[in-house]
Structure formats: structure tokens, C-alpha cells
Amino acid sequence: GAVVSQHPSRVICKSGTSVKIECRSLDFQATTMFWYRQFPKQSLMLMATSNEGSKATYEQGVEKDKFLINHASLTLSTLTVTSAHPEDSSFYICSAALVRWPKNTEAFFGQGTRLTVV
């Protein structure tokens, strides 16, 4: 299967600082990537859709000025958590869609980034 890589896998930062998380599709191009957040013992919650070359689309309740998304190329999307606070501590996961014509379109997920804000 296709590979989606996230970096870093784990990060600890101080309250008030910003953290950037990278999501790369290693062996395919993805015009669309997705960012999710997962709190302990909960399901994944979609935060935003990242579109290459255009602005991201955020889900209701997600602050776009706090969670900055940049999708500058067909293989890279970044999520920056600005002015992080302890309540932003979570598991952040990205996905990228691989289209295999004519039938299969699969979403491949990164391994996730565990953010801890202290």
C-alpha cells in the first residue's frame, strides 16, 4: 500500500509556543489531505480538509487561526498549532487519498503525532 509519513511522531512543547506537524505522501501525489484529532479513548474527529494550492476547509468548531494548514505541494501538507495550550494536547493524524482508476480510492493514514503541551 501507499505510504503516508508524519513528522514528528511525538512532540512536547511549552504552553504559548507553536508546533508544526508535517504530513507527506511518500510514493504518490495527493491533491487532498485530511487532518484529524483524537483524544484518549475517543474516535478520530475530522478537523479540516487540506487542498493543494488553495485554502483549507475547516470543520465546524475548529479555529482556523489556531490550526494553520498549508498544502504547498502534492506531497506535503503541514498543520501548525499556534499558541498551544494544554487542552490542545492530543493525537493528530493526517490522511491522503490515493485514486486508483477505475474502482478503488483509498485513504492512507499517517502514523500520527502525539502532541503534549506543558
Partner 1 sequence: DAKTTQPPSMDCAEGRAANLPCNHSTISGNEYVYWYRQIHSQGPQYIIHGLKNNETNEMASLIITEDRKSSTLILPHATLRDTAVYYCIVGVQGAQKLVFGQGTRLTINP
Chain residues that interact with partner 1, rule: CB under 8 A: 1, 4, 6, 32, 34, 36, 43-46, 49, 91, 93, 95, 97, 99, 104-112, 114
DSSP string, the chain: ---EEEE-SEEEE-TT--EEEEEEESSS--SEEEEEEE-TTS--EEEEEEETTS--EEPTT--TTTEEEEEEETTEEEEEE-S--GGG-EEEEEEEEEEETTTEEEEEE---EEEEE-
Minimum CB separation from partner 1 for residue 15, in Å? 23
Minimum CB separation from partner 1 for residue 19, in Å? 18
Minimum CB separation from partner 1 for residue 78, in Å? 17
